[in-house]
Amino acid sequence: MTRLIFLGPPGAGKGTQAKILAEFLQIPHISTGDILRQAIQEKTDLGIQAQAYMDKGELVPDKLVEDMVEERLKKSDAKSGWILDGFPRKVTQAEFLAKLLENLGQGGEKVVNLDAPDETVVSRLLGRGRKDDTQEVIRRRLEVYRDDTAPLISYYSQREKLLTVNGNQSQEEVFTALQNIIAA
């Protein structure tokens, strides 16, 4: 049973690798961004609440995101494994997730830190050609990511769940490294 949490800076390839690996393993790729969009589209109670915050330009509160993750992990397709992408983003969310997984009987998760040097990430993100992906904005996002995620890396490392994969390789090499982690 594969349960993976993907960490890594923006542009490290988390979303791409999570999708490929989830398809390969035939388990759901659970992205908090996708969960939010789907809940809003389906007009679920949580989606309506989230939409109200987003309409005001505010961040969706942690509790609401946690409730959405809980709702998603309770679905039948998640019983055979999953890849979580974009959650947790901080230690309080990791603690929530640990309790949730224990309650659901879904322990044994591994945390993959897909790491890549800032220069690689900046280059990849600039290559996407999005208007908001300026070098200055990207570097700020990396700074925020490193500040917010460093404690998370430490949290999972202390619990001996953290595995680091070099994201500064070809897509195929990263995928092979991920397969090796799962097989271990």
Annotated binding site for ATP: 11-16, 128, 169
* Residues placed in the known binding site for AMP: 32, 37, 58-60, 86-89, 93, 130, 141
Q: Yes or no: say if 117 and 11 are a contact pair by the CB < 8 Å rule.
A: no
Reference 3, options 105, 121, 99, 96; nearest CA is 105
* DSSP three-state, residue 160: coil
Q: How far is CA 89 from the centre of its chain?
A: 8
Q: How far apart are CA 73 and CA 83, in angstroms?
A: 10
C-alpha neighbours within 13 Å on the C-beta side of residue 116: 24
* Residues placed in the known binding site: 11-16, 32, 37, 58-60, 86-89, 93, 128, 130, 141, 169
Q: How far apart are CA 81 and CA 79, in angstroms?
A: 6
Q: Yes or no: say if 108 and 117 are a contact pair by the CB < 8 Å rule.
A: no
What is the DSSP annotation of 59-73? PPPHHHHHHHHHHHH
